[in-house]
Structure 1
Amino acid sequence: MKVLVTGSNGFIAKNLIEHLKRDDNIMLYCYSKKDSMDILEAYAKEADFIFHLAGVNRPENISEFYEGNSNLTKKIVDVLLKSGKSTPILFSSSTQATLDNDYGKSKLEAEELLLDYSKKSGANVYIYRLPNIFGKWARPNYNSVVATWCYNITHDLPLHVNNPSTQLSLVYVDDVVQSFLNTLHNGNKKQYIEIDTLYVKSLGEIEELLCQFKKSREDLTIPHVGVGFERALYATYLSYLPLEKFSYTLKGHQDKRGAFYEILKTLDSGQFSLSTTAPGVTRGNHYHHTKNEKFLVVRGEALIEFRHIVTNEIVSYQVSDKKMEIVEMIPGYTHNITNTGDEEMVLLLWANEAFDQDNPDTYFLEV
């Protein structure tokens, strides 16, 4: 299949193209504003499907709205009609197409041209009236507050919030691309298509999350970033980090026994830590009433010992990096771990709760 993408240097197009390039059954044609109309005409005549994503939303002159939106659409439609083609077209319009401004008017004119083309040629036309879109590669200081704020906070620049209660309707670029691909491969009975997942968030909510993302490198507490809007926003935030900020240094505690580093704290599922222990050294000798942990030796070898604090029942485990074996620290058992090897032992730990200095639930008692 030959697929044409207009506006190929744009935010949505870049994300879409990376998916299309992975499909060996697709021959990709990319048109951007630096290309000539002759190239666009040649590509349009060849294409079996057109993603019409080119558009103007921040012109120097009002006339550029119409030149880059409705007039460009007319040129594509005219080429197809003169060539007797009925090529399906997917068009990225805007929710502003219903508003009385020149950007919206130019998008609405483009929609009407496509609908007329569909009637004349019988071609399928798919119109997406997209709201605010966010995700990696959006241009900051252009038309996306999310892109601008992600750039600013990752570059230590201030965020300007005029009204934190202002609500935004947002879609994530990966969801947009997935919907586009579904339409490409499966079609759609509708001419006007909406993205299934729409987020409605206030500027204050977005600002708070971005500040938490940045702060997480200091207090090591990461917000919920596994699902939904937080997942999408965190991925977007990370994509704006400058190269020199891809890494950060942990602050550890070191003594003659070895070192201890907290790695990551979650809001409700505990924390991850790492410790090193010198040969022959024993750590621990304490118990918890409720707190529980998982130990994994990732380098070296060790003996983990338990003793029930009431019955004095004893159990032990010899562990090493030769076998990735997790040992659970059970409430009500005092426990310790001894480096039984000749090299430094490295232990990865997970605790079900973040450490609370005021209520550590940790009581010294030798095994």
Structure 2
Amino acid sequence: MLTGAGGFLGWHVRVLVRALGWPEPVTLTRADLADPVAVAAVVSGADRLLHLAGVNRGDPAEVAAGNVELAAALARGLRQCPVPPKTVVFANSVQAGNGTPYGDSKQAAAATLAGATGGGPGFDDVLLPNLYGEHGRPHYNSVVATFCRQLADGAAPEVRDDRELTLVHALDAAARLLDAPPAGPWDGAMPAVRLGVRALADRLTGFARVYRRGEIPALADRHDVRLFNTYRSHCFPGHCPLPLVRHADRRGALVEVVKAHGGAGQTFASTSGPGITRGEHFHLAKVERFAVLSGTAEIALRRVGHRDIVRFRVGGDEPVVVDMPTMWAHNITNTGDGELLTLFWANELFDPAYPDTYPEPVRGAAARPAAPAVVG
């Protein structure tokens, strides 16, 4: 159960819940919070209630009032609960109480919720650092999102204040808030990376420079992978598919499908008969590339929790690659009359114990048909 389900952190929480195979969480909108009786009826007896709704940016007075009022509205509902939730989790900030309208309002919100829950083990006040991750809003959620958007648009990141940052991926924050079991590419201990704003801009710029050539940059650690995936989320679908140069002579043809700086990864190929679909899953961290070498196919993708489907029509006569964005369900279907030969590449060796592969149909109940966004 959560508030703020439609926000940046809320989406990552819902994606992680889907990956864990847990029931879809009940959500409370800001309109719902205005009715304390209705709030009490919904949250009464809940096992875990996450309060993520808040205001990060904007007019200082509106930021301060928004965070305080949202917490107060939830508190009014909690006080009327016949059976209080076992745990109320507040997505607080390390900036709480720092003298800014945002920091002081987060501290006040925490105090309000602690009072409504009686504090103690029933209230989990989680101080979150700077969060980054896929599909963050530029100039709102984080400087990472801003830099990624600028680079995806072909511009250079604008560094105005070169201070040191402590960055945590939103999925790791979601795991901490959910108290998720350690069974996948998330870490509830919220491992952080510390680096300056200029160093962040340089790292992302390096990723973008290599990726524009269709190559995979060196990804030295978990934060490199996640920063690269964050950048890729701002490139999709506009930068896809990536064309491949086909060298042909009397002997045949050659294409270079993957150039991975740093060397890690696994390549495999598959054949599929006419009408056969492969995939129907999503990944949380894995970088995965598809390339059709022979035959024709449609690659379809849908962002988890969203409805629109992006489609690419691809074929071996004009080879291209499509990189699967993280947290997007995807599949590939043989649309031809003959056999389809597809090459797949991933940035890591497949580990059956931790496959980072979660079932999700692209054309599920939440999906709706859409015209192809890009035709390859």
TM-score range relative to shorter protein: 0.5 to 0.7
Q: Is the 8 A contact 1:21 1:28 kept in 2?
A: no
Q: Number of aligned residue pairs: give it.
A: 266
Counterpart CA distance in 2 for 1:140 and 1:220 is 24
Counterpart CA distance in 1 for 2:134 and 2:171 is 9
Structure-2 residue corresponding to 1:70:
68
**Closer/same/farther in 2, CA of residues 65 and 44 from structure 1, 3 Å limit:** farther
Return the TM-score normalized by structure 1. Answer: 0.63
Residues 322-364 of structure 1 show CA distances to partners (whole Å, capped at 9, x for unaligned) of xxxxxxxxxxxxxxxxxxxxxxxx9x9x9xxxxxxxxxxxxxx
**Closer/same/farther in 2, CA of residues 174 and 258 from structure 1, 3 Å limit:** same
Structure 1 residue 35: Cα displacement: 4.3
Aligned partner of residue 258 in structure 2, secondary structure: strand
Q: Is the 8 A contact 1:223 1:267 kept in 2?
A: yes
> In the alignment, which of 135, 140, 143 is matched to residue 138 of structure 2?
140
Counterpart CA distance in 2 for 1:36 and 1:196 is 29
Structure-1 residue corresponding to 2:156:
158
Structure 1 residue 160: Cα displacement: 0.8
Counterpart CA distance in 1 for 2:163 and 2:22 is 44
Structure-1 residue corresponding to 2:95:
96
Counterpart CA distance in 2 for 1:15 and 1:272 is 27
Q: Is the 8 A contact 1:54 1:68 kept in 2?
A: no
Counterpart CA distance in 1 for 2:27 and 2:52 is 11
The one-letter amino acid paired with 1:199 is: V
The one-letter amino acid paired with 1:99 is: N
Structure-2 residue corresponding to 1:205:
199
Q: Is the 8 A contact 1:155 1:242 kept in 2?
A: no
Report whether the alignment pairs 1:81 with 2:75: no
Q: Is the 8 A contact 1:154 1:240 kept in 2?
A: yes
Counterpart CA distance in 2 for 1:259 and 1:93 is 57
Report whether the alignment pairs 1:265 with 2:259: yes
Structure 1 residue 43: Cα displacement: 2.5
**Closer/same/farther in 2, CA of residues 231 and 22 from structure 1, 3 Å limit:** closer
Aligned partner of residue 26 in structure 2, secondary structure: strand
Structure-2 residue corresponding to 1:8:
5
Q: Is the 8 A contact 1:265 1:272 kept in 2?
A: no
Counterpart CA distance in 2 for 1:66 and 1:42 is 28
Structure 1 residue 259: Cα displacement: 2.8
> In the alignment, which of 25, 28, 42 is matched to residue 25 of structure 2?
28
Report whether the alignment pairs 1:52 with 2:51: yes
Give matches, 1:217-228, under 5 Å: 217-219=211-213, 221-225=215-219, 227-228=221-222
Structure 1 residue 261: Cα displacement: 2.7
Residues 237-283 of structure 1 show CA distances to partners (whole Å, capped at 9, x for unaligned) of 1111142312111234333223333333333439999xxxxxxxxxx
Unaligned segments of structure 1, at least 5 residues? 187-193, 274-297, 300-345, 351-367
> In the alignment, which of 166, 171, 174 is matched to residue 177 of structure 1?
174
Structure 1 residue 131: Cα displacement: 1.1
Counterpart CA distance in 2 for 1:92 and 1:42 is 22
What do you get for the CA RMSD once the two structures are aligned?
3.4
Counterpart CA distance in 1 for 2:191 and 2:264 is 30
Counterpart CA distance in 1 for 2:45 and 2:152 is 43
Report whether the alignment pairs 1:119 with 2:118: yes
The one-letter amino acid paired with 1:211 is: T
The one-letter amino acid paired with 2:224 is: E
> Considering only CA atoms, is the larger Rg found in Structure 1 or Structure 2?
1
Structure 1 residue 171: Cα displacement: 0.4
Q: Is the 8 A contact 1:92 1:128 kept in 2?
A: yes
Unaligned segments of structure 2, at least 5 residues? 183-187, 268-292, 295-340, 346-376
Q: Is the 8 A contact 2:131 2:169 kept in 1?
A: yes
Structure 1 residue 106: Cα displacement: 0.8
Q: Is the 8 A contact 1:263 1:272 kept in 2?
A: no
The one-letter amino acid paired with 2:170 is: V
Give me the identity figure in percent: 27
Residues 78-107 of structure 1 show CA distances to partners (whole Å, capped at 9, x for unaligned) of 322233433110100111103011111111
Counterpart CA distance in 2 for 1:55 and 1:179 is 18
Structure 1 residue 53: Cα displacement: 0.3
Aligned partner of residue 201 in structure 1, secondary structure: strand
Residues 112-154 of structure 1 show CA distances to partners (whole Å, capped at 9, x for unaligned) of 123333437x661111111110011211122411111111211
**Closer/same/farther in 2, CA of residues 222 and 65 from structure 1, 3 Å limit:** same
The one-letter amino acid paired with 2:158 is: H
Aligned partner of residue 97 in structure 1, secondary structure: coil
Tell me whether 204-213 or 259-268 shows the greater mean CA deviation: 259-268
Counterpart CA distance in 1 for 2:76 and 2:33 is 16
Structure 1 residue 23: Cα displacement: 6.0
Report whether the alignment pairs 1:229 with 2:223: yes
